[in-house]
Amino acid sequence: MNRFLWPLVGFIVLVVLLGVGLTLNPRDVPSPLVGKPAPAFSLPRLHAPEEQFSPRDMLGKVWLLNVWASWCVSCRQEHPLLVELAKRHSAPLVGLNYKEVRGDAAIDIDKVAPDSEKGMVIERAGAWLSAHGDPYTLSVLDIDGRVGIDYGVYGVPETYVIDKAGIIRMKHTGPITPDALSSTILPLIAELSK
């Protein structure tokens, strides 16, 4: 009996560990930015390109920053949820349009004239929001993806919850699921808004 007990225990421990490993998401890399101030930027707005938006404008509010692009397939998947979220008016939702033109694998950026890229970005992003609904309080244009690097973006869509003091409180990588929204994001917004 004892002869088989320890190998059996070892086997069960291994199975449990591997089982837990299967439920983990290797894409979910913990962000070092959580608990730190949201990196500063100043970017043109999609619907008012002559105006700039900066995270400083949102001080005193709990808000969400959602990274999206029209070429991003998962963004389409999460979009209805964002539209739903916007209807609740629980927090302002700012869209960071990430590399709208040069991130699109179908476009060879070297064939795009540098001065026409911004126009293309505005046209494509605007058309996509008209077609699928615009949940964003406002969207800003990160044409070359530099701001995305400052925010540690590595897989669009990504969503950040930022508190009244401008501190990033949460980062969600990948499309928001109804479950993540109701069990994590909304309670966090409610708590931070107190």
Partner 1 sequence: MRQLVIALLLVLLGGSFNAACAGEAQPLAENPATEKRLIAISTELRCLVCQNESLAGSHAELANDLRREIRTLIDAGKSDDEIMEFMVSRYGDFVRYRPPLKGTTLLLWFGPGVLFVLGFAALLRYLRRRDRAITDSPLSAAEHLQAEALLHDNDSRQGRS
Residue ranges that bind partner 1, judged by CB under 8 A = 26-27, 29-33, 99, 103, 105, 110, 145-146, 149-152, 154-155
State the DSSP string of 29-47. Answer: PPPTTTTSBPPP--EEBSS
Q: Closest approach of Cβ 194 to partner 1, in Å? A: 29
83 or 107, CB closer to partner 1? 107
Q: Closest approach of Cβ 149 to partner 1, in Å? A: 6
14 or 190, CB closer to partner 1? 14
- Contact status, residue 92 vs residue 189, Cβ threshold 8 Å: no
Q: Which residue has the tokens 């869209």?
A: 95
Q: Closest approach of Cβ 135 to partner 1, in Å? A: 25
| Edge-to-edge strand ranges of the sheet holding 158-162 | 138-142, 93-98, 63-68, 158-162, 168-173
* 3-state secondary structure (DSSP) of residue 130: helix
32 or 60, CB closer to partner 1? 32
Q: Closest approach of Cβ 103 to partner 1, in Å? A: 6
Q: In 3D, which of 95, 106, 113, 112 has the Cα closest to residue 156?
A: 95
19 or 114, CB closer to partner 1? 114
DSSP character at residue 135: -
Q: Which residue has the tokens 């629980």?
A: 90
110 or 179, CB closer to partner 1? 110
Q: Closest approach of Cβ 83 to partner 1, in Å? A: 27
CB atoms within 10 A of CB 49: 15
